[in-house]
Amino acid sequence: MSWILSLPLIIPFATAIAAFALRDRAAGRWISVAGSAMLLGTAALLMARAMRHGVIAAQMGGWPAPFGITLVADLLSAAMVGITAIIALAVSIYALADIGGRLERLGYHALFNLLIGGVNGAFLTGDLFNLYVWFEVMLIASFGLLILGGRKEQIDGGVKYVTLNLISTVLFLSGIGLLYGMTGTLNMADLSRAVETVENHGLLSVVAMMFMVAFGVKAALFPLFFWLPAAYHTPAFSVSAVFAGLLTKVGVYALIRMFTLVFDHDTGLTHTILLWVAGLTMITGVLGAAAQSDIRKILSFHIVSQIGYMVLGLALLSPLALAGAVFYLIHHIAVKANLFLIAGVAQRLTGHTELARIGGLYKSAPLLAVLFLIPAFSLAGFPPLSGFWAKYILVKAALDIEGWLIAGLALLVGLLTIYSMTKIWAQAFWAPHPEGIAPALSRIAPGARAALLLPVAGLAGLTVLIGLMPQPLLALAEAAAAQLLDPTPYVAAVLGGAP
């Protein structure tokens, strides 16, 4: 059974090596597409296994847990690997047209697959120190992607991204050291039992805070998100899309994992802080977006705002709220990556992403306008799109425990999201182009057009599909939430039911 858990790691790394060897040829980019397609197949198999057998685990190198490194997939991990594979495939097709020969020779495809491998590793590992290593794999690949090409803005954004993320890394590492000192183990399932024997709850809470800050930087929570809007609008559109879709969500995943499995000793403290942080993240993100006038900057601030919703689900810690968080994660990754991909097409047609300098897309490219409306409305939470259900579940979970304030805030932020989306719509799509250009899709060569629009249409289709048939994903999210709230099967799968 171990191959199904290690393949989502082996495939991207093998693809990265092959793509690096062939970076001077056109074959390199097709290898990236083929690797992503294989990853999607593997992820589907993993999902099927996880649904049939519950939590599956494999001990790497034959060392029994908790001494060796364990790979483990519960429904949340499997679902995250699945959506990662979908985004990897969409972005690698988009990159066929978006990434030019210069970036390819610099090793774009190798770095991209390295990043996907790191993300999958973070989702699948069951060992805390191993999680740190995967974070670093992800980080170094993202550093490379962010500054690839070396334009001034990229270097400038890169400095802020790199420095703040390195601080978070040091905090994470210190937290691991202290937790190990207290419990004597690094295996997450073993930790879940070992923290119960720790008598000094105050010290445990301090370590929990270190993890919260470290993952909070990665997830771009208030007040630690400043690196994100400084950097995400600078690299190539493919890179922006994959960052926007996946990177912050790894931070959210790590928060959910650690604050359900390990740090549940004093939820009155930790999850109350998370609740405040979630509310402030939602509102500052959406207000920051309202002040921006560049498509990618608006979308970057909206990532921050949406992260707040997911953390809200974790903070409320009821079965429904956690299911909402999982649902939101999946929906958001597809929608957000798609919006950045659309911003790329819009930039190609009109020449810019600064709203004042573009326009006319609705008249001359109606197809793109429809494709934009789907994820934009979904982000704001219009029925019957995926975002409506995600918000509905979270608001209902908040109302169930009589959190009137936070429920109201979530609805208000949804309203303000519409404001930003309307701004993009009015300026980029409705208003005529200031230089009188008619930005029709036919301005792009047919081959490139297909490569750009296929992933956009596919992800929009996914959004509509989830919106019209939310039941399968909702059932999956509820089952994943149940596994998160009762870690007994997770612990048993990893440690083999040993006492």
Told to check if 180 binds other proteins by CB under 8 A, we report: yes
- Given 3-state DSSP classes, what are the helix, strand and coil percentages for the chain, each rounded to the nearest 5? 80, 5, 15
| CA 83 distance to own-chain centroid | 9
Nearer to other proteins, 100 or 184 (CB): 184
CB of 120 to other proteins, least distance (A): 19
Told to check if 173 binds other proteins by CB under 8 A, we report: yes
CB of 171 to other proteins, least distance (A): 8
By CB under 8 A, name the one of 100, 181, 432, 472 that touches other proteins.
181
Chain positions 357 to 396 lying near other proteins, rule: CB under 8 A, are: none
Tell me how many residues contact other proteins (CB under 8 A): 37
**438-445 contacts: CB < 8 A, separation 24 or more?**
438/360, 438/363, 438/364, 439/346, 439/349, 439/350, 439/358, 439/360, 439/361, 439/364, 439/365, 440/349, 440/364, 440/365, 441/349, 441/364, 441/365, 441/367, 441/368, 443/348, 443/349, 444/97, 444/348, 444/349
Told to check if 136 binds other proteins by CB under 8 A, we report: yes
Chain positions 106 to 135 lying near other proteins, rule: CB under 8 A, are: 129, 132-133
Q: What is the DSSP string of 222-261?
A: TTS-THHHHHTTSS-HHHHHHIIIIIHHHHHHHHHHHHHH
By CB under 8 A, name the one of 14, 34, 60, 140 that touches other proteins.
140
CB of 343 to other proteins, least distance (A): 16
Structure tokens at 409: 């805030």
Query: Bridge partners of 127?
Result: 187
Q: Which stretch binds other proteins (CB under 8 A): 26-34, 166-174, 305-313, 363-371?
A: 166-174
By CB under 8 A, name the one of 24, 153, 400, 486 that touches other proteins.
153
Structure tokens at 42: 């593997």
d(CA 420, CA 76): 31
By CB under 8 A, name the one of 21, 26, 48, 170 that touches other proteins.
170
Told to check if 230 binds other proteins by CB under 8 A, we report: yes
CB of 463 to other proteins, least distance (A): 30
Told to check if 302 binds other proteins by CB under 8 A, we report: no
d(CA 124, CA 82): 12
Nearer to other proteins, 42 or 234 (CB): 234
Indicate the helix (H) or strand (E) that contains 306. Answer: helix 295-316
By CB under 8 A, name the one of 20, 54, 156, 465 that touches other proteins.
156
| In contact, 173 and 181? CB cutoff 8 Å | no
Chain positions 326 to 355 lying near other proteins, rule: CB under 8 A, are: none
CB of 175 to other proteins, least distance (A): 9
Instruction: Give the residues lining the site for other proteins (CB under 8 A).
Output: 129, 132-133, 136, 139-140, 143, 147, 150, 152-160, 162-163, 166-167, 169-170, 173-174, 176-178, 180-182, 229-231, 233-234
